[in-house]
Structure 1
Amino acid sequence: MKKLLFFTLLGFAAATHAIAASVTLATEEYPPFSYRDGKAIKGASVEQVDKLMKDAGIDYKIEMMPWARAYNLAQTTPLSCVFTTAHNAKRDPMFRWVEPLLVDRNILITRSGSGVVASDLEEAKKYTIGTQREDYTETTLKENGFTKLDVATDFNATLRKLLNGRIDMMPISEIYFAKLKAEQPLDKVTVLSSQQMGIACEKNFPSDLLTKMQAALDRLIASGTQKTIFIKYGLSSAD
């Protein structure tokens, strides 16, 4: 009987430990949504994730890495999620979702004075478009028949290529473009897509944790905190 009680308690302790295990939330360098400031990871999405995880009472850590690695981690590793992730039909069954961290349109932009002109996506196909490996925009571009793609490891690498004239256009969040165009010589060309974006978690992610995270995000939005965070990072158009 004592042995049975011992193993029962041991099993309970192991189960409790599993429940208390830390959630890993991976993201990429994509300012102002997520970026490094010294050793700290900051941004409009990062701040939302920090607040909702603390409100939900879930132990967690945020890690920054190239998007392809972050995306793969959330597909293969228990208790792992990736953000800020566009929710589309292809990705829907691959993850469990907490959303929205934002609702946004994605546009194609070019450097000012480049001479690049396209009134729609068909006209844009003749140009070389830069994007990031495993980013949803890579899939969106391919699905729309774009073949002249230049794929980099992260957003900043693509932006540098655009500014240096190595590519003709690149996709970008429209609400971020409103901020970036004040800092860089860039122009909007045409709309690529519209999407809801959130936290994508491994498909076997525990339902109780997911429910707590979604409830915490819902409260953050309802209180006006999400909008305040957008304004803080110069994203006031994200109403």
Structure 2
Amino acid sequence: MVRMGRLLLLPFLVAAIAATIAPAARGADITFVTEEYAPYNYSEGGVIKGIAVDQVHRIAAMAGITYRMEIMPWARALMLVERQTDHCVFTTGHNSERHARFRWVEPLLVDTMVMVKRRGSSIEVKTLEDARRLRVGAQRGDFAFDFLKVRGFGDIDLATEIAITLGKLENDRIDLMPTSLKTYEKLVSEGAAIETALLMDGQIYSLACNLDMASETVAAMQTALDALIESGEQDAIFARYGLPPTGKTGRSLTATE
């Protein structure tokens, strides 16, 4: 009975928090940019949707922010946000190389990285050293690319979008492709002919904003995201897409671990 009462109070809690933070950011006009990377952010029938997209819509609404959203190649999105003040990019892996380049609102999710191979491939990968000997593909400017470079991968086959990298993998033009575990699960559910080759590190994914964005705007968005997490609404968004939630465990991680 107590638990039911708490659940009934959650919508009122979120509304109350939104009422207190919205004035701080009211009047802000932000451009959120993202890429085609299901299930976090993708376009369908001309509509941008996904787990991270739904969260960003709610964050903006709760923080009283006026905004627009665009979808574009990832490398272009990152470059645009570094150059334009009122811009944020998502869903952005928060690593040590990017840490000082943006202001962060997080976590939109916490996920595990996985190296995948073509279904039925005889390739066996037990370590990253094994993977470095093979043909590996990634997206230009994507966290997966940064992940590979930091770990000593040299000749990486680059593409502008994950769909292109996936096509290369399925057509045996590359041997391996790094992605998040949740994205892998989404691709498999859609019929992609791939399977796991190697599980790797966990990662925090975030909303990354231009360094000159107003502190009160960033703070309002972070407060809104915190409310989504505490109320369970973030978990509900994951559930709508048929995926297990990130949960509050993400709050105990640091982005550069």
Same fold per TM (> 0.5)?
Answer: yes
Aligned mates of 1:101, 1:27 — CA distance in 2: 13
Aligned mates of 2:97, 2:174 — CA distance in 1: 27
Query: 1:198 aligns to what?
Result: 206
Percent identical among aligned pairs is 43
Pairing partner for 1:60 from 55, 62, 67:
67
Query: 1:235 aligns to what?
Result: 243
Q: Given the two structures, how large is their TM-score scaled by the length of structure 2?
A: 0.83
Deviation at 1:160, TM superposition (A): 1.1
Q: Given the two structures, how large is their TM-score scaled by the length of structure 1?
A: 0.89
Equivalent position SS for 2:137: strand
Equivalent position SS for 2:78: helix
Query: 1:50 aligns to what?
Result: 57
Query: 1:186 aligns to what?
Result: 194
Query: 2:255 aligns to what?
Result: none
Counterpart residue identity of residue 203, structure 2: Q
Equivalent position SS for 2:31: strand
Equivalent position SS for 2:37: coil
Runs of 4+ in 1 over 3 A off after TM superposition: none
Query: 2:99 aligns to what?
Result: 92
Equivalent position SS for 1:31: coil
Pairing partner for 1:160 from 159, 167, 178:
167
Aligned mates of 1:119, 1:238 — CA distance in 2: 26
Equivalent position SS for 2:125: coil
Deviation at 1:193, TM superposition (A): 2.8
RMSD: 1.5
Deviation at 1:174, TM superposition (A): 0.7
Pairing partner for 2:109 from 102, 110, 125:
102
Query: 1:113 aligns to what?
Result: 120
Aligned mates of 2:182, 2:73 — CA distance in 1: 22
Unaligned runs of 5+ in 1: 1-18
1:99/1:197 contact within 8 Å kept:
yes
Query: 1:210 aligns to what?
Result: 218
Larger gyration radius, structure 1 or structure 2: 1
